[in-house]
Each structure stands twice: as structure tokens, then as C-alpha cells.
Amino acid sequence: GAVVSQHPSWVICKSGTSVKIECRSLDFQATTMFWYRQFPKQSLMLMATSNEGSKATYEQGVEKDKFLINHASLTLSTLTVTSAHPEDSSFYICSARKGLAGAYEQYFGPGTRLTVT
């Protein structure tokens, strides 16, 4: 199997606070994990790619100081939204790639819905 979990599944926070979202590959080791953002009725937008033990690669337009990504182990990556604002409210989805480059099948987590009030 290839199961990816995310925690929490939904979170409401106040403006100015920080929120951490965890992404775990439960039954495989993920050398690479991806973080996506999805607005209502829109497609997935890749935010960053993280490889275990190294710094994440952010897509153009994504603020690395605002969206902190840590890929501390082969089964865990975290996304911290710092000083969240209402415009950060979105559906955040992680995915994990099983195996090395060449295995492009990605397994998605169930997503985290963030609402910033």
C-alpha cells in the first residue's frame, strides 16, 4: 500500500497566529514530498518540493518565510503557515513520492482545510 496521512484535517485559527500541518507516509519511505494549495473550484497549485534532509524548493511566488517546510525524516514533512492571514485560508494537500527519481506516482494525503479568521 501507499497511504499518506495529514494532520489536522481542518483547523481554524486567528489572524496572526501560526499553524503547523503534518504530512506522514504511513507505510513507505518518501524521499520527496510535495505541498499543494487548492482554492475552491480551482486546481492544485504546487507550493514547494521537499526532500528529506535538505531545504525545500519553493515555486515562484510562494514566500518561503511564510510557509516553512521541514522534511525531517523519510516519513514526515511539516508545513507551518506563519502569521496567518485570512487570505491564507485554503485547502492544503501534501503528496509523497515513493521511491527515487523515475517513480513519479504520487500519493496524496487527505488534505487540511485551513480557515483564518
Output the CA torsion 45→103→106→35 (10° steps).
Answer: -40
Residues that bind another protein (CB under 8 A): 32, 34, 36, 42-46, 49, 93, 95, 97, 101, 104-111
Minimum Å gap between C-beta 43 and another protein is 5
Minimum Å gap between C-beta 8 and another protein is 13
Q: Which helix (H) or strand (E) holds 78?
A: strand 76-81
Of the pair 34, 67, the CB lying nearest another protein is at: 34
Q: Dihedral sign for Cα 102, 111, 4, 77, please.
A: positive
Of the pair 77, 109, the CB lying nearest another protein is at: 109
Of the pair 28, 108, the CB lying nearest another protein is at: 108
Minimum Å gap between C-beta 93 and another protein is 5
**Residue tagged 485551513 (cell numbers):** 114
Q: Which helix (H) or strand (E) holds 51?
A: strand 44-51
Closest CA to 70 of 81, 82, 56: 56
Of the pair 49, 70, the CB lying nearest another protein is at: 49
